[in-house]
């Protein structure tokens, strides 16, 4: 079965909105676009490249797809697999796009994503796509969180874990701290959350 792996740049207060640059999501008046730039270092770069070079298909929300579609076809040398990967795009309005191969999904997203997970193929990587991630979390479809946690608080913006997050247990299967203070950590599902006493 294919896994859904959510890969995110995230602030200490949980914000994932517009980490990369000025052309990203400024909705809601978000003013801190490109907030990860001061924390770039070789260790973080190596960790990112390792993830980007794994076999993958993409599962994206419409906004992330629309931001990426004009960029990555011109910059495939940076991320060799991104243009060949199948892009599964969740949208109620978008039904086609020039960035191929792409498959557009609407309707019962949980059911359709569950069916895709059961097909043969590489794991499904989710970058950005804040609204889609909320649906995946609520429907208990996320297998792995691969997070880069930055030593910064942003105060506002789209968050990784919003209302509707289900209780679940995870285990850390990989972690490192970069010289710039970014915690790179992989959380794998570890079943249901257990209650206990101290």
71-99: buried (b, 16+ CB within 10 Å) or exposed (e) per residue?
ebeeeeeeeebbeebbbbbbbeebeeeeb
Predicted confidence (pLDDT) per residue in 65-79, tens digit: 999 999 999 998 999
pLDDT of residue 158: 92
User: 57-61 and 102-105: which strand pairing?
Assistant: unpaired
pLDDT of residue 25: 85
192 touches 148 (CB < 8 A)? no
- 42-49's contacts with Cβ under 8 Å and 24+ in sequence apart are 43/176, 43/178, 43/179, 44/148, 44/178, 44/180, 44/182, 44/184, 47/148, 47/176, 47/178, 47/184, 48/148
Residue 101 preceded by cis peptide, ω within 30: yes
Predicted confidence (pLDDT) per residue in 102-131, tens digit: 999 999 999 999 999 999 999 999 999 989
Over range 137-148, report the average pLDDT: 96
Quickly state the pLDDT bin for 22 (edges 50, 70, 90): confident
Show me where the domains of the chain are located: 4-189
pTM (predicted TM-score): 0.93
Q: Name the residue among 98, 75, 78, 76 with its Cα closest to residue 87.
A: 98
CATH of segment(s) 4-189: 3.40.430.10
């Amino acid at each position: 079965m294919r896994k859904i792996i959510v890969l995110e740049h995230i602030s200490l207060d949980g914000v994932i909105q517009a980490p990369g640059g000025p052309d990203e999501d400024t909705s809601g008046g978000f003013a801190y676009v490109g907030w990860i730039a001061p924390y770039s270092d070789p260790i973080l770069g190596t960790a990112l490249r390792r993830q980007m070079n794994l076999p993958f298909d993409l599962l994206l929300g419409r906004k992330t797809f629309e931001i990426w579609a004009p960029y990555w076809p011109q910059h495939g040398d940076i991320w060799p697999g991104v243009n060949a990967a199948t892009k599964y795009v969740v949208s109620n309005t978008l039904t086609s796009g020039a960035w191929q191969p792409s498959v557009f999904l609407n309707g019962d997203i949980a059911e359709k994503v569950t069916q895709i997970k059961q097909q043969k193929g590489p794991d499904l990587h989710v970058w950005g796509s804040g609204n889609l991630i909320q649906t995946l979390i609520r429907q208990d479809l996320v297998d792995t969180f691969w997070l880069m946690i930055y030593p910064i608080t942003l105060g506002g913006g789209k968050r990784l874990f919003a209302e509707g997050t289900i209780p679940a247990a995870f285990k850390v299967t990989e972690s490192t701290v970069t010289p710039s203070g970014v915690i790179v950590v992989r959380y794998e599902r570890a079943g249901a959350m257990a209650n206990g006493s101290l």
